[in-house]
Structures are given as C-alpha cells and as structure tokens.
C-alpha cells in the first residue's frame, strides 16, 4: 500500500468515515498531480497547487466530475 493509501485509511478511521468514500480513484492521482503542476507553474507560486487541489476536492464533493474540473482549470490557464 502506498503512503497516500495509508494516510487515507488513517484519516477515515480517525474521522469515522468510510475510506472508500474518500480514496483516490484509479487515474485520479495523475490528473491531480498534472493540475497541481499547472497551478504551480502558471501562477508562479507553488502554494497554489495544494490550494487548487483543495478547491477541486470541494467541487468534487458537490458532484462535479474530475475531468470537468481538469478541463476548467486548463481552460483558465490557457487564457
């Protein structure tokens, strides 16, 4: 198990929630890492990478698919 899987399980247990409900889906890590890199490079500030991932996570919690969010971020950064 990778570190992210271990910490996900720990957070879930600590918060009394289902780990599967918050676990990364296959391929999500690559998308999130790519979007985080775009945020850091295009903004010039590395701190925007985790902050953007937090925003995307909140949007996912509202039911927005990750591919739609990725497209929105790429559209924004290509302006």
Task: Give the residue extent of every domain in the chain.
Answer: 25-79
Tokens at 24, concatenated: 């990364």
Output the CA angle 67-69-27, nearest 5 degrees: 40
Q: What is the mean pLDDT of residues 6-13?
A: 97
User: How many other C-beta atoms are found inside a 10 Å radius of the C-beta of residue 34?
Assistant: 13
> What confidence category does residue 1 fall into, taking pLDDT thresholds of 50, 70 and 90?
low
What is the predicted pLDDT for the residue at 36? 96
pLDDT in tens, 46-76: 999 999 999 999 999 999 999 999 999 999 9
Q: Which of 56, 57, 39 is nearest to 48 (CA)?
A: 39
Query: What 3-state DSSP class applies to 22?
Result: helix
Looking up tokens 């198990």 gives 1
């Amino acid at each position: 198990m990778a570190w992210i899987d271990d910490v996900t399980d720990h957070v879930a247990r600590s918060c009394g929630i289902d780990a599967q409900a918050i676990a990364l889906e296959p391929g999500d890590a690559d998308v999130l890492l790519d979007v985080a890199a775009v945020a850091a490079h295009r903004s010039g500030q590395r701190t925007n990478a985790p902050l953007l991932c937090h925003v995307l996570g909140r949007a996912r919690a509202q039911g927005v698919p990750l591919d739609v969010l990725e497209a929105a971020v790429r559209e924004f950064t290509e302006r």
